[in-house]
Amino acid sequence: MSKENLDVFEQVQAQIKDACDILGLDDSYYEILKTPERAMQVAIPVRMDDGSVKTFIGYRSQHNTANGPAKGGTRFHPDVTFDEVKTLSMWMTFKCALMGLPYGGGKGGIAVDPTKLSKGEIERLSRGFVRKLGDFIGPAVDIPAPDVNTNPQIMAWMVDEYNAMRGFNNPGVITGKPVLIGGSLGRTEATGRGVAITVREACRVMNIDLKGAKVAVHGYGNVGSFAGLYLHSLGAKVIAAFDLGGGAYNEAGMDAVALMEYVKRTRTVHGFSGSQNITAEEMFALDVDVLVLAALENTITMENQHLVRAKIVAEGANGPVTAEADGQLLARGITILPDLLCSAGGVIVSYFEWVQNLMNYYWPEQEVNEKLERIMVNAFINLWQMATDKKVDMRAATYLVAIRRVADAMKLYGWV
């Protein structure tokens, strides 16, 4: 395994140190920010359908709570590791601070391939995870949400288990729930919508006409499909898409509405009507205006970064470009819209859901979308200005803005 894939946690620590140094913060701030406040590993025994018992390993990391309770998703994936979860919780601290949300960063996961489990086994696993973490989560402590391979139904099971432990209804303990039991309208589409808003704003300041702009999307799940859908609605042409099942390419552009319906039926973009098969490497090498990365971490590495020809790389996933590859893309004049900004739509609407739960008062979808738009646009404008003023790239600007806000809160509390 290459060094860039091994040391993501250490790379984030280095980014924090660089930002602290630029901001003129003393070492006390870095000492607090370089590691999570609390990180847990739990063993979850699950009764399988055949009567046997299998133990799964789960994790939850709470990085920093100076700005509020920890907030972040829970993923089910066979490659989940403790270091990955800790790293993602650090990114969540800065993403929430960047957006001005009253949250710190959290993240969780279970090392499991959910495609190999039945619905009943997934439910028992989800409930078991909450039983192990029940004393460490809550509306004012740590608020989980969906992530890779988790969904509103899994969140519903988790809320129900937490309610059973507490003895009363606590809808604000978890976001990303079904609307019927306290979820927010607009949540499912929020991350993809946020990606599209960020790309739209970037094209505006870069004088790129989004109408007719060519877009390729790597990872056509929830985030990628909605990003493609909204960019299509803004006049862009989605000419390529790729997921675990393969790729689809049509130079003339694909109907994003029809493509989304096709993916719902087949669970892949591969074989979409009128498209040609395409590999991920072939898609990265396309001459496009925008490349949306909406799959997992470490999608673009030193091994494939030379292929990328897009004017804009939009990070709809967490950490899809490694630190080394990031530098190479920037050196070639490619603008990277960093994950802390680009993929923030989900946590913003999760915040709206939490607020609605606490008030027991719910907003129409148009109001949710308007609030999301306002926060995303303001964040983009502030970051673009910071990057321009400091003569740094957008990723460096995100750390400067976010760490400044977290550091100010820590100082007010007397942590440093």
CA–CA separation, 310 and 287 (whole Å) = 6
Between vectors from CA 219 to CA 218 and to CA 220, what angle results, nearest 5°?
Answer: 110
CA–CA separation, 359 and 364 (whole Å) = 15
Listed residue (377, 343, 383, 395) closest to 195, CA to CA: 343
Sheet holding 104-111, edge to edge: 38-47, 53-64, 104-111, 70-77, 142-146
Residue 157 CB neighbour total at 10 angstroms: 18
The 3-state DSSP class for residue 327 equals helix
Q: Is 82 exposed, middle or buried (0-12, 13-18, 19+ CB in 10 A)?
A: middle
Tokens 């660089």 correspond to 18
CA–CA separation, 15 and 9 (whole Å) = 10
Q: Which two tokens stand for residue 282?
A: 């072939």
Tokens 């309770």 correspond to 69
DSSP tag of 69: S
Residues designated as active site: 107
CA–CA separation, 367 and 200 (whole Å) = 20
Q: Which two tokens stand for residue 209?
A: 């006409």
Question: Rounded to a whole number, what is the distance in angstroms from the first to the last CA of the chain?
Answer: 38
Q: Which two tokens stand for residue 48?
A: 């399988």
